[in-house]
Every structure is written in C-alpha cells, then in structure tokens.
C-alpha cells in the first residue's frame, strides 16, 4: 500500500519530483558549501525549488535577503520571517537562510568560523542566482540575529564585502559584549565566549574601524529595557546598538502592549518583522545591470568613476560610513592612510573599501617583508599575534576567510587577538603600492591541543606526535 500511495502522489504532481520535506532545502543546482564549524554541507532553505509558475517568481526581482540565525539555532528560526516576507511580496529566490553551525547547546557556534562559512555561502547564492537570472547579483540585504550579527560584521570586515550589502538589520547582537560570555571560559564551547565578553579584544578589533562601514544601510533592533532580552540586562541594554546605524530599542520605545519581545521574538514576532521589512523595502534598489563604481588614483589624488560617483573617505584609522561626506576628489595627506569607498547614487552601488596613502617622496625596490610572532602553530588558549612589516609605513591587512586580503580588508591596528582556530592570511602594502608576499599561517587554538601535547603517551615518549584530531569538534 505505501508503494501505491507513492505512485499516486507522483501522478498527482505530473511526474515532477515531489517537494522536499517541509520546504526546507535548497534548490537543485545549488551547491551548499561546507560549514567551517561542522565540516558538513550547509543546510537551510532558500530559492525557488521548482520551476516558477508565474513570471514574478522567476528570479530575484529585488535585492535577495539572507537571514543569518544566532547561536544554537538553525534556519528554522527564520520560518516566521519567511512566511512574513512571502506575504509581504518577496519571492522564494529572494529569501535565503543557511544553517551554518551546530544548532545545539552541545556545541556553541563561534563568529570566526561562521564568517568563513558565510563568505562561501554568499558566493554560492551569487553564483546560483546569477546563473538563473542571467545577470550579476551585486547586493544582498542581510537580517541577522544574535551571534549572527557579529558573525556577519566579522565576515564583512574580513572579506571587504561591505559594498555587497545594501541593508543590514542587526537584531539583538552582542556588538559590545554580553554578560554570559567570559574571558576565562574553559568549556568546549568557549570560543564564542572569548569573542563576545564585555571588553573583549575581539570586539575591539571588530569595532575599531567604525561600527557601520561603507554605504550599507544599517538598522539595529533590540530590547533596550534590560528585562525582556535576558542576554542584555540593564547594564548592557544598549550593547546591540551600533554607532551610525538606525538604532531601535524596540521594547523601550514601544507603547502600550506593543513591546515585551524576548531575545528570539525580536527577530520573529510580526511587529518586529514588519519593522524589518519596512526598513529593507525603503532601501533604493540598485540598477539591475549597472557596474559598481571604482576608485581611480592619479598620483596622490583620488576620484571616483563614473563621474557622477563620489568618494567617501575617512582617516585616523577609521573607515567611512554612509554619513561620511561625499567628495569629488580627494588629495591624499602625507603620512596617513585614508580609507575610502566610491558610491554611485545613480546605480545605488558602491566600490569595495580601499585604503590609500600618499606616496610622495617614497619609492624603494627593497622587497617588503611581513613577519608574525608567533608564526602559527598549536595553542591551548587564545593567542595574541604581532605582525611586523619591514617598512614601518606599510599598511598591514589580513583576512581569516581564505581570501587574499586587499587594502580594504581588516586592518592590523595592533596585536591581533585570535580566540579560535583560524587560517590567517596577511599582506603588507606600502603607500607606493608595493605588496609583500602573502603570509599564510594557521593558528590551531584549542584546549584539545594542550591535552594532546600532555598526553600520557607523550610523557612516556616526548617524541610522539601530539594527535588531537579525535578530540576536536569537527571543523575546528
């Protein structure tokens, strides 16, 4: 009888493959990347799984939205958002949600590993939708919750893809720390704790260049009362707010019975989803086939191309945001790196972030060297890495996403705090444009490393290999 039922079901759908369970899958032709945390393919939902029946469902007609969940959650966290956005007019190809991690308190997710996964996931969504629609997908909107917020910000910082995010909604993210994270964490899921404790060096690095960067529109949405979201009590009530963003302390500002949303409801309640959808809808849609503007350097002067595009530049170690005043041309000051992006109001697109410094009076053929101390290796606890370029005037940039860093990548501003296993790639760039060879180092950070180093076998035979593979969470 079950076979008969299956056969009848196949007839009923005209021979098309039946929908996958509960619509929780990616479409055929989408190649999910491997999760940096689990080592398994990212799962989740997104995209139209069957051939569109209506033209408006054919491919993205507006900027696709990526929903990035928080710790211990997975893509199902966004089921309510998916329903809400569908009802508000978004089609399936415009809505995506990856499950990037463990979805369990048994193994907490961490920002650095998530940033790597997000980078690969966004690449794949771009490839898939670009192929399907026949035009490049230049921008996304991102709605992130909790750990997803800081993970997205870390991904943007490390990959210099600010220009690819039109609008970013950061719901209840620990942008300035969370009381549940501690610097002396010892449990197996300690990494996110090292990243997100109040005053952590990791957060300092994340926020150093500015809390909102590039032309990206940013809105934060959080409790603000210190009561309803248990992660942000009164003393941390505004931790999720970001300088330069539209900050909405939703429960604090709500009147009557409109507030009272807890940590999860802030990203899943109809009232907050409506605010999020309104914010995304208000973003100007980029021209579909336009190319992003570029920054043109002419000696020590910068301008944007095309001519109607404008430069937004910031100095003093800061990165420009959308409030940074536009300029037609910029003269590079001596001895200072300017961080700039070009933005075209006509197309709505921006260039990647780039850093430039005046090269006047400089010039050398000496090979530029970049060194790290320590130069990779196993460490039982978070490690602080010092990078030094042979030219002190050189800019040092780095990335943990596996990408080759460019001048707009994460800037080295001082000893680098690495709380989790990362593959670090760094380069030094001089004001006259010389680049060092990429420095690629792996920092294998985890208590398991220490345990393996001090195993009974190694005490009996110090020459024995320290093998911690069996003890490490997959993907670490």
Residues that bind another protein (CB under 8 A): 20-22, 24, 71-73, 76, 79, 103-108, 179-182, 185-190, 192-193, 225, 227-228, 230, 233, 256-262, 265, 269
CA diameter of the chain? 85
CB of 219 to another protein, least distance (A): 21
CB of 182 to another protein, least distance (A): 6
CB of 18 to another protein, least distance (A): 10
Contact (Cβ atoms closer than 8 angstroms) between residue 154 and residue 176: no
Q: Which is nearer to another protein, 20 or 413 (CB)?
A: 20
What is the DSSP pairing of strand 95-99 with strand 65-68? Answer: parallel
Q: Which is nearer to another protein, 182 or 403 (CB)?
A: 182
Contact (Cβ atoms closer than 8 angstroms) between residue 202 and residue 194: yes
Q: Which is nearer to another protein, 165 or 231 (CB)?
A: 231
Alpha-carbon distance of 433 to 179, in angstroms, equals 43
CB of 149 to another protein, least distance (A): 17
Contact (Cβ atoms closer than 8 angstroms) between residue 173 and residue 248: no
Q: Which is nearer to another protein, 20 or 31 (CB)?
A: 20
Q: Which is nearer to another protein, 42 or 349 (CB)?
A: 42
Q: Which is nearer to another protein, 79 or 450 (CB)?
A: 79
CB of 451 to another protein, least distance (A): 15
Alpha-carbon distance of 410 to 417, in angstroms, equals 13
CB of 398 to another protein, least distance (A): 26
CB of 105 to another protein, least distance (A): 3
Between the two ends of the chain, the Cα-to-Cα distance in Å is 47
Alpha-carbon distance of 390 to 54, in angstroms, equals 60
CB of 173 to another protein, least distance (A): 17
Q: Which is nearer to another protein, 15 or 187 (CB)?
A: 187
DSSP lists the bridge partners of residue 350 as 343
CB of 79 to another protein, least distance (A): 6
Q: Which two tokens stand for residue 276?
A: 């999020």
Q: Which is nearer to another protein, 86 or 135 (CB)?
A: 86
Residues 6+ apart with CB under 8 A from 349: 138, 139, 163, 286, 287, 290, 291, 292, 293, 343
Q: Which is nearer to another protein, 74 or 391 (CB)?
A: 74
């Amino acid at each position: 009888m079950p076979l008969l039922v299956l056969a009848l079901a196949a007839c009923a759908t005209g021979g098309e493959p039946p929908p996958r369970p509960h619509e929780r899958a990616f479409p055929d032709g989408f190649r999910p990347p491997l999760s940096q945390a689990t080592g398994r393919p990212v799962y989740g939902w997104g995209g139209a799984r069957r051939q569109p029946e209506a033209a408006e469902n054919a491919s993205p007609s507006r900027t696709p939205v990526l929903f990035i969940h928080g710790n211990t959650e997975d893509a199902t966290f966004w089921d309510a958002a998916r329903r809400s956005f569908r009802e508000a007019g978004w089609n399936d190809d415009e809505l995506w949600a990856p499950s990037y991690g463990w979805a369990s308190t048994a193994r907490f997710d961490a920002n650095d590993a998530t940033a790597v996964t997000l980078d690969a996931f966004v690449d794949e969504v771009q490839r898939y939708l670009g192929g399907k629609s026949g035009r490049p997908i230049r921008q996304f909107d991102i709605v992130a919750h909790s750990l997803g917020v800081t993970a997205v910000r870390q991904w943007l910082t490390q990959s210099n893809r600010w220009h690819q995010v039109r609008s970013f909604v950061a719901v209840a993210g620990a942008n300035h720390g969370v009381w549940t994270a501690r610097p002396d964490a010892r449990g197996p899921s300690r990494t996110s704790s090292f990243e997100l404790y109040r005053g952590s060096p990791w957060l300092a690095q994340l926020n150093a260049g500015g809390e909102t960067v590039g032309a990206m529109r940013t809105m934060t949405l959080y409790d603000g009362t210190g009561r309803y979201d248990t992660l942000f009590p009164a003393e941390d009530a505004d931790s999720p707010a970001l300088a330069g963003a539209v900050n909405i302390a939703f429960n604090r500002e709500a009147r009557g019975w409109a507030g009272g949303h807890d940590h999860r409801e802030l990203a899943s309640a109809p009232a907050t989803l409506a605010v999020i959808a309104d914010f995304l809808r208000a973003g100007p849609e980029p021209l579909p086939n336009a190319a992003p503007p570029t920054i043109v350097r002419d000696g020590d002067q910068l301008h944007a191309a095309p001519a109607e595009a404008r430069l937004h530049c910031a100095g003093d170690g800061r990165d420009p945001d959308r409030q940074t005043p536009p300029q037609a041309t910029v003269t590079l000051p001596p001895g200072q790196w300017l961080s700039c992006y070009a933005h075209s109001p006509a197309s709505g697109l921006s260039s990647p972030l780039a850093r430039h410094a005046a090269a006047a009076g400089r010039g050398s053929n000496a090979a530029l060297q970049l060194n790290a101390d320590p130069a990779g290796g196993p460490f039982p606890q978070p490690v602080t890495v010092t990078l030094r370029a042979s030219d002190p005037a050189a800019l040092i940039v780095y990335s943990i996403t596996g990408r080759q860093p460019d001048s707009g990548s994460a800037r080295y501003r001082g000893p680098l705090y690495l709380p989790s296993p990362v593959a670090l790639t760094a380069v030094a760039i001089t004001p006259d444009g010389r680049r060092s060879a990429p420095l690629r180092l792996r920092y294998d950070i985890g208590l398991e490393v220490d345990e393996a180093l001090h195993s009974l076998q190694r005490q009996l035979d110090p020459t024995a290999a320290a093998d911690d593979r069996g003890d490490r969470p997959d993907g670490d």
